Structure 1
Amino acid sequence: MATIFNDNNVNYALKKSPIPEFAWHTSERLAEIAGSKHLVFDLRSLDPGKYSFPYHFHRNAEELFVVLSGKALLRTPEGITELGEGDIAFFEMGPTGAHQLFNNTDQPFKYLDIRTNQGIDVVEYPDSGKINILPEQEVYQTEDRVDYYKGEDQVSDKWK
């Protein structure tokens, strides 16, 4: 059965952060409503002067933006590009897929955000040196990275 979403039947919720420049409107649970098993997707609207999520990339998810209306600037490792109605932007897994949006216009920027869902994802934020384990939303500083065997010495003592 087809499930059809549009501005007439989707409710948007404003997502704010403690940093006022990060704010967007997002649809709620569209993939769940549609019964999707492998895709996560949301309709999003970015107000003028606002940034999307902090600059990031996914280690275990691909992401695709389909621009529905408006214009915004897209930041990637290659630089800044303007996106407009009808554009499709694909972000592969890993550092080369890093991205962030900024609405530098006076009109809302609306887009469909589609992501693969493999269960657990690790999102890395190059600007702030953090990682986020999804879906649990566990955020850590990457500077706290330790050697794999740290604290594993004297293993035989633990078997006594």
Structure 2
Amino acid sequence: MATIFNEQNISFKQRQSPVPEFAWHTSEKLAGMVGAKHLIFDIRSLDPGKYSYPYHFHRNAEELFVIMAGSAMLRTPAGLQEVHEGDTIFFETGPSGAHQLFNHTETPCRYLDLRTNNGLDVAEYPDSGKINILPYEELYETEDRVDYYKGEHLTREIWAQLNAPGKGEEKRGEDGGE
């Protein structure tokens, strides 16, 4: 069934971060209201003098903004560009899709934020050196990146302990087996 969203049936909630420059109003889980399986979408309103989310890109989600009202400055790896009502902006995955909005005007900028949902995603924040595992919102600093095999040098010893005589028999006895 088709669902039509408009100002009469959308409620907005203000999201204020601990950093005062990041504040916006967002619709209440529109995708969840209609049971969307592969899309996440919200309508956002960015107040004058405020930034959207920190400058970031996604590893496993494409994103699309449709500017519904007002205008804002868009930051991408190519630099700054003004976007206006009626503009549609696509952000591909990876560093070339990095983006952030700033409302440099005196009126709110309202936009549709539409993104794909492929399960897990990783958002990276080049300015602050963080990664975010979504949808869990687990954040880590990229400087903590380690080699894939770090800490794996004890594998042989772990296997030896697991295969020690009597080890397998204890486990069988515990669960009522032979």
TM interval, shorter chain, is over 0.9
Aligned-residue CA RMSD (Å)? 0.5
Structure with the greater relative contact order (CA < 8 A, sep ≥ 6): 1 or 2? 1
Match of residue 83 from structure 1: 83
Tell me which stretches of 4 or more aligned residues in structure 1 moved more than 4 Å: none
> Counting strand residues as a fraction of each chain, which structure ranks higher?
1
Counterpart secondary structure, 2:157: helix
Match status 1:151 vs 2:151:
yes
Separation (CA, whole Å) in 1 of partners of 2:142 and 2:78: 23
Matches of 2:142 and 2:47, distance apart in 1:
31
Query: How many Å apart are 1:154 and its aligned residue?
Result: 2.4
For residue 46 of structure 1, what is the aligned residue in structure 2? 46
- For each residue in 1:90-116, what CA deviation from the matched residue of structure 2 results, as whole angstroms up to 9, or x when unmatched? 000000000000000000000000000
- Structure 1 position 131 matched with structure 2 position 131: yes
Q: How does 1:103-118 map onto structure 2 within 5 Å?
A: 103-118=103-118
| TM-score, length of structure 2 as denominator length | 0.89
* Percent of aligned positions that are identical: 68
Cα distance in structure 2, aligned partners of 1:69 and 1:145: 41
- Paired with 1:7 and 1:49, the residues of 2 have a C-alpha distance of 23
3-state SS of paired residue (2:55): coil
CA deviation profile, 1:25-82 (whole Å, cap 9, x unmatched): 0001100111211000000000000000000000000000000000100000000010
Q: Distance in 2 between matches of 1:29 and 1:15?
A: 13
CA distance in 1, matches of 2:88, 2:18: 30
Distance in 1 of aligned mates of 2:7 and 2:109:
13
Q: Which amino acid aligns with 2:134?
A: L
In structure 1, the partner of 2:169 is: none
Determine the structure 2 residue equivalent to 1:68.
68
Q: TM-score, normalised by structure 1?
A: 0.99
For 1:37 and 1:146, how far apart are their aligned partners in 2? 34
More helix by percentage = 2
Distance 1:138 1:36 in 2: 24
**Letter paired with 2:107:** Q
- Mapped to 2, the partners of 1:67 and 1:81 lie a distance apart of 13
The equivalent of 2:173 in structure 1 is none
Whole-Å Cα distance in 1 between the matches of residues 128 and 32 of structure 2?
A: 31
Find the counterpart in structure 2 of residue 17 from structure 1.
Answer: 17
Inter-partner Cα distance in structure 2 for 1:51 and 1:7: 23
